[in-house]
Structure 1
Amino acid sequence: MSVRIAIEPLEAAEFAPFGDVLETTGAPDKIINQGLCGRFHDRATVDFADGRAGISLFKAEPRALPLVLDMVERHPEGSQAFLPMSFDPFLVIVAPDEGGKPGRPRAFLTQAGQGVNYHRGVWHGVLTPLHAPGLFAVVDRIGGGPNLEEHFFDAPYHIEG
């Protein structure tokens, strides 16, 4: 038997235990570029045990709802930020850590222009765009040693829209 998970809107306060919501809310912290650009400064904590920050491009196949969730992963050595390169919403799935294993997952739907930064060691679902092109810039740790743990659930969860 599977458990159904409802999708929540992505809001900074609700997502805070898992990471940072990257968005341009409120007034810019600073106006730059001859007054033509607002800088929303330092919106995420990039955290690595070692290594360095790198920017990669991911192109993921769009998924459809309802979604069957049978696996989550985490990166114990570094945070991981996902910045969509389109204005399409995507699904963000996270789970609290309960003694080294993921607890009950939560699912969030981004709004146009939002990205996320998963804190180091946070259980999360794989990249889940809901629309093509599924293109993202990803800022994460580049370095030696293992930085991926996967957990497969005994019974899958069903994410519903």
Structure 2
Amino acid sequence: MRRTIRAEPLTAEGFAPFGDVLEATGTPDFMINAGLCGRHHDLARPETDTDGTLSLSVGRSEAITLPLSLGMMERHPHGSQAFVPMAGTQFLVIVAGDEDGTPGTPRAFLTNGSQGIQYRMNCWHGVLAPLAGPADFLIVDRVGPGDNLEEHHLAEPYTIVTD
């Protein structure tokens, strides 16, 4: 049996159960840097448990090819994780709700190249999946003691398509 997930456009409303969309839309909240920069303020609140601290990193990811076979999902039990493309790269965002400790049916979102995302703590998600690459991403996540990665290999893969 073939299980296909069609990627949908990334919107704040559609992604809300899984995390936050990071993008500058509408009127800025206020101006900074002598009035040269409009700040879209407080778009997401990174999460971490009491033993961790927040970290900024840059990850360079190879591009994926479509259709994408999704055979594994992961989550981070001790903190949220954010990815922001540094060069306008579109990427797929694959997420699933939790069903008794395993991923439920995934949803796939396609960013527009100027959007980043933050996965909530414990949100099942696919690996970073840029459509062109190699691509650099700003990563904001928790570092600290304990195993902050749980992987789940799906019994049957899903095929992710964009059209």
Q: TM-score range by the shorter chain?
A: over 0.9
| Deviation by residue 1:29-63 (Cα, 9 ceiling, x = unmatched) | 01111111001111012010131000111111100
Deviation at 1:134, TM superposition (A): 1.5
Q: Distance in 1 between matches of 2:34 and 2:5?
A: 47
In structure 2, the residue matched to 1:44 is 44
The amino acid that maps onto 2:114 is G
Which residue of structure 1 lines up, in the alignment, with residue 117 of structure 2? Answer: 116
Question: Mind listing any 5+ residue stretches in structure 1 that lack a counterpart?
Answer: none
Q: CA deviation at 1:107?
A: 0.5
1:5 and 1:11 map into 2 onto residues whose CA distance is 17
TM-score (norm 1): 0.98
CA distance in 2, matches of 1:133, 1:159: 20
The 1-side partners of 2:97 and 2:121 are apart by: 12
Query: Hey, what's the Cα distance between the residues in 2 that align with 1:151 and 1:54?
Result: 25
Residue of structure 2 equivalent to 1:156: 157
TM-score, normalisation: structure 2: 0.97
Looking at structure 2, the residues matched to 158 and 75 of structure 1 have their Cα atoms a distance apart, in angstroms, of 23
User: How far does residue 7 in structure 1 lie from its aligned partner after superposition?
Assistant: 0.6
Q: How many equivalent residue pairs?
A: 161
Aligned-residue offset at 1:109: 0.4
Q: What one-letter code is carried by the residue in structure 1 that aligns with 2:143?
A: I
SS of the residue 1:73 aligns to: strand
What amino acid maps onto 1:65 in structure 2?
L
Q: Unaligned 5+ residue runs, structure 2?
A: none
Query: Does the CA-based 8 Å contact 2:85-2:113 persist in structure 1?
Result: no
Counterpart Cα distance in 2 of 1:2 and 1:30: 49
SS across alignment from 2:7 = strand
Shift of 1:133: 2.8
Aligned-partner SS, 2:109: strand
Q: Which residue of 2 aligns with 1:143?
A: 144
1: distance between equivalents of 2:148 and 2:68? 26
Asked whether the 8 Å contact 2:94–2:126 carries over to 1, the reply is yes
The root-mean-square deviation of aligned C-alpha atoms, in Å, is: 0.7
Q: Post-superposition, which runs of at least 4 consecutive aligned residues in structure 1 deviate over 6 A?
A: none
Distance of 2:73 and 2:114 partners within structure 1: 24
Question: How do 1:7-156 residues align onto structure 2 when only pairs under 5 Å count?
Answer: 7-49=7-49, 50-156=51-157
Identity %: 57
CA-CA distance at 1:112 after TM superposition:
2.1
